[in-house]
Amino acid sequence: EIPLKQINKTHENNRSLILYPVESCYMGMMNLIQTTFSRDLGEVTLEVINTSTGEISCETFDSGVTPQTLLPISGDSGYYTITYTTESGDIYEGYFTLN
């Protein structure tokens, strides 16, 4: 699992336990990023950057139509940044390293 945090909010939330509507996981045997949405966030852009090699993988999809998606990446060693940007402007970001 790739831990995500919300770095930009378009609206204020209360201070209760935060459950993000998006979950991200790296599937190593197939070099895929699996994304699962627990609610419709509209159109979402997913961008994965290997900051060590400069490789960029991205995809835009409707989370209401496709609540789960797979994005292939190279699986090359490096430090990766993963960013989800929703149509309302919310941004969820995470990091992971592949050796």
Q: 13: pLDDT confidence band, cut at 50, 70 and 90?
A: low
Confidence band of 15 (pLDDT split at 50, 70, 90): low
Residue (of 66, 69, 68, 97) closest to 81 by Cα position = 97
Phi and psi (nearest 5°) for 26? -95, 125
| Residue pLDDT, tens place only, 17-67 | 568 899 999 999 999 999 999 999 999 999 999 999 999 999 999 999 999
Distances (CA, A) of 14 to 18, 37, 92: 9, 21, 18
Query: Has residue 77 got a pLDDT over 90?
Result: yes
Residue 52 contacts residue 94 (beta carbons within 8 Å)? no
Q: Cβ neighbours of residue 95 under 8 Å, at least 6 residues apart?
A: 2, 79, 80, 81, 82
